[in-house]
Structure 1
C-alpha cells in the first residue's frame, strides 16, 4: 500500500485541535520552530515517543497541537513523509 503506484493514499488529516505546520528551525533540546497554517510562529516540542523513532528536519510538514494555555507553543503529533507532503500541496491542504 505505497504511494509509488501514482494513486492517492489516505493521509492522516488534522483533528479538531491540530493544524498543519512547516518546520523552519531546529532549536535543540527536542524543540523546533514551526510556521503554522494559521499564520502563527510557534515553538513546538517533539514528544518522547517520537524522539527516537521519527527524525524531524527543517522544511518537514508536521501536524501540531497548539497548547490551550500558551498560544505560542505546541506539541508535534505527526510528521508527513515528503511524498505525503507533496500530495497535501497538490490537493490544496497546504501551500
Structure 2
C-alpha cells in the first residue's frame, strides 16, 4: 500500500484566500468564521453556492477576505468532512485557531 492511497488532491488557497472554520450561522446567507490567520470575520455565501452547497457550523471553508474591509470575506469553497480531516492530518489547518 502506498502512502497516498485514499488521498485526494484538494483545492488549496490561491492569492489572498485563507482556510477558515465556520463558528456561527448568522442568517441572510452570512456566517461567522474563524480564519487561520487568527482573524474572526463575517463571510458571505455567494449565490452560486446557495441551495447547492450547504454550510453548517464547524465546516472547514476557504474564504477570500475583502480588500476594502478586512473583517469581511466571501466563502469560496467548502470542504467535506473527509477533506477537512485530510487537511488537518497534513497540517494545513489546526483546531486551536
Coarse TM-score class (shorter-chain normalised): over 0.9
Structure-2 separation of matches of 1:8 and 1:23: 24
Alignment RMSD (CA, Å): 1.1
**TM-score scaled by length of structure 2:** 0.91
* 2:15 matched residue in structure 1: 16
Describe how 1:1-95 pairs up with structure 2 within 5 A. Answer: 6-95=5-94
SS of corresponding position for 2:77:
strand
- Deviation beyond 3 Å, 4+ runs, structure 1: none
Unaligned runs of 5+ in 1: 1-5
* 1:3 matched residue in structure 2: none
Structure-2 separation of matches of 1:55 and 1:65: 18
C-alpha displacement of 1:34: 0.1
Unaligned runs of 5+ in 2: none
Structure holding more helix per residue: 1
**TM-score scaled by length of structure 1:** 0.93
Structure-2 separation of matches of 1:18 and 1:92: 17
Structure-1 separation of matches of 2:8 and 2:51: 26
